[in-house]
Amino acid sequence: MKLYVKAQSSYRGNLDASEIKKELKTKYKLDTRRQDTFIHLAVYGAQLLKDKIDISSSDELYITSGVGNIDVLQKTNKYVYKDKEFIKPFDFINMLGNTTSYYVANSLGVKDKNTFQISNNFTFINTLISVFASLSVSKNEAILGSVDLCTNPNEVIKRVLGLDEDAEVTSSVNYQKLSLSSSGAIAEVEFDTKIYSLQEVQELIKNTDLKVMASPRCKDLDSLKDNEYFETMPSFYLNKTIQENENLLYIDCFENSYKIIKIIGLA
Amino acid sequence: MSKMHSVNILDYTLLSSQGNTQETLKSIKNLSVKVLCKEVSTLNEPVKIPYYLLRDKIEENNDEIKEAIKKLIENLSIKLTAQQRAQTALLIGTSLIDRNIVESIESSVYEYKKKPYTSSKKSIDSFASEISKELKLNPFTMTISTACTSSINAVIEARNLINSGVVEYAIVVGVEIFSQMMSDGFSSMKLLSTDTQRPFDIDRDGLILGEAIAAVLVGKDSSKWSLKGAYSNCNSLNITSVSPSGEEYAEVMDKAMSFAKVTAKDITMLKTHATSTLTNDMSEINAIKKVFTSDVTFSALKPYVGHTLGACGVLELAMIMSCVDDGFIPKTLNHKESIIKEYTPLQEHKACTCGIFMLNYFGFGGNNTSVIIQKESI
């Protein structure tokens, strides 16, 4: 399976929520009320993409994440279960996964398919498969946003993701506009449903001409790895490869199951 | 009929507050609906409200929910060969996608609940991949969370995966088990009835929540049931509702028919979303008026099983198939006086063994979905 990337946007770092909120209000003139940090992060990434390419109201929208809106759950859990307060309606609404994709869709003017979805451990790569399958039927183009928010204490997100206690985690949001057509594409990304064994992956690494990056979870591989972790890291490296006009074999892994994507820069 | 827009529904199974598939069918047929009670929070003090709870209680914990889901999937996958299983994706639709985070928050943040650190991931989406491995299904799994349209959107995802050649089969599961946070959230929005659900009735005053797990097997093998077309959009007035005119709902109904290459006159029966809330039912009945003439046969299923949120997509799909396979379309319970007099939901069970059916699902976050299914005459 192959998809073509028409545009991309990335934001990563120690999240400064007030700056993102300020950017959304001042630069993009967006209403940020009733939303929280996770939603602001998702909308901000979408606006960065919109700065680079025209968005059609018929573009399909996919938002994926390692754990979803952890911010609102952490806050609500505290005041409902610990402080015994009554849940606030907008906190309840923001807990629903597709609330984030609603605000993203609204900020982009997208009115067609809109979904929030998670696939265990390989959520970005499996969402690429969903996008491929849907575009094969609809013939539309798609916007794929990958959103991971790290809250304080970061032990919460590490427990949810099943990471080691000493793992470094960070927030990130990465978007691509994707199409089945190569016209105007800046990169192609190749993927499949196959789960690879360690031996198969080692064989691939040995025989590839592409640069190789591996997820920090790939402990049995000596390949280049990031020092920090967020679940949708392949989305970040897809964009980075495009920015650097390189080619890349990215390997993700969870409990001895490996998945790969191949990225070929076309710019 | 565009092959890319159609796929067959090979089998279905369900577990609702009224029991398994056969027991739920019997309860609908005999109008013998059982509703229990549950406590929810309000601004003042906790109150007991009606709640369509499963007969055999599933505790609000990960292991029991996973086992219940697995049991239903086994019901469907048992008929598949090993080769077919390897070509079967597993998709889940639920609004409970973040349930796992609560455990981690409690383990990390509160001294009184702190637990030793473990690196083991547990969530609804990890259930899908665990069950997939245990039953030797295809490794592709996905959990979709688009509020009340979650599991019907997962059915559309299954259609896409099959028609694009990614897999040959898909099992789609809708899951909704009692969640205190979810119930309190609906209570905070004053959307819960303390009495009963009255779809499209002038005296409707809210919904009653329900638990359910339901599953369908989708593929290209021959079947009497098929999904002919579907459309899902994100278009609403605000995060919780569409225009009172229902224009956004009418758009998905029209487009679903267009993709299925049928017209309103071809629709044997419309299964409405019908939450019995003031705004949703008003928008939906106005949308029905835009799309159909007043002789349309339409009904609402939530008074039989409650509003099962993310599960209602597959649950109500399985209920319609079950009733039509038994030879009837179910009447709408608790309806006395219509919002629009000329558009009254079905008042008695109606004999029906085949036809083309439209199924509506609308959710928070602007997600609106309409699907067209067909049962061929034998």
Over residues B355-366, the pLDDT tens digits come to 999 999 999 999
- 3-class DSSP string for B269-314: EEECCCCCCHHHHHHHHHHHHHHCCCCCCEECCHHHHCECHHHHHH
Q: Please name the residues in contact with A191: beta carbons below 8 A apart, sequence gap of 6 or more.
A: A1, A2, A3, A125, A128, A129, A132, A259, A260, A261, A262
CB contact under 8 A, A137 and B109: no
3-state secondary structure of A202: helix
Chain A residues 99-158 with a CB less than 8 Å from chain B: 99, 101-102, 105-106, 110-121, 123, 126-127, 129-130, 132-134, 136-137, 153, 155-158
Q: Total structural domains in chain B?
A: 1
Output the pLDDT for position B126.
Answer: 84
Q: What separation in angstroms does the CA of A52 have from each of A114, A175, A177?
A: 21, 11, 10
3-state secondary structure of A266: coil
- Whether chain A has a CB inside 8 Å of the CB on B88: the answer is no
Task: Quote the CA–CA distance of A26 and A138 in Å, as a whole number.
Answer: 36
Query: In chain A, where are the structural domains located?
Result: 2-186, 188-265
Confidence band for B98, pLDDT divided at 50, 70 and 90:
low
β-strands A224-225, A247-254 pairing: unpaired
Output the pLDDT for position A19.
Answer: 86
Task: Quote the CA–CA distance of B253 and B275 in Å, as a whole number.
Answer: 17
Chain A interface, mutation test: which of B239, B243, B252, B255, most A Cβ atoms within 10 Å?
A: B239
- Whether chain B has a CB inside 8 Å of the CB on A85: the answer is no
Chains A & B: contacts with CB separation below 8 Å: 216
Helix axes B99-109, B124-134, angle to 10 degrees: 110
CATH number of the domain to which B267 belongs: 3.40.47.10
Over residues A220-231, the pLDDT tens digits come to 999 999 999 999
Q: Average of pLDDT values for B172-187?
A: 91
* Closest by Cα among A218, A209, A215 to A264: A209
Over residues A6-51, the pLDDT tens digits come to 999 999 976 455 589 999 999 999 999 999 999 999 999 999 999 9
CB contact under 8 A, B142 and A119: yes
Chain A residues 15-44 with a CB less than 8 Å from chain B: 34
Q: Average of pLDDT values for A148-152?
A: 91
Q: Which of A95, A119, A159 sits opposite B98 (nearest CB)?
A: A95
Residue B5 has pLDDT above 50, yes or no: yes
For residue B175, what are the β-bridge partners?
A: B94, B213
Q: Please name the residues in contact with A120: beta carbons below 8 A apart, sequence gap of 6 or more.
A: A254, B121, B123, B125, B126, B128, B129, B141, B143
Q: Average of pLDDT values for B298-322?
A: 98
Chain B residues 265-284 with a CB less than 8 Å from chain A: none
What is the domain extent for residue B207?
3-375
Which pTM value belongs to this model? 0.96
Over residues B12-63, the pLDDT tens digits come to 999 999 999 999 999 999 999 999 999 888 877 888 999 999 988 887 666 8
- Whether chain A has a CB inside 8 Å of the CB on B175: the answer is no
* Closest by Cα among A131, A151, A148 to A140: A131
The class that CATH gives domain A2-186 is: alpha beta
CB contact under 8 A, A193 and B166: yes
Q: Average of pLDDT values for B264-279?
A: 97
Task: Quote the CA–CA distance of A256 and B20 in Å, as a whole number.
Answer: 38
As for the ipTM of the complex, it is 0.96
- Chain A neighbors of B176, CB-CB under 8 A: none
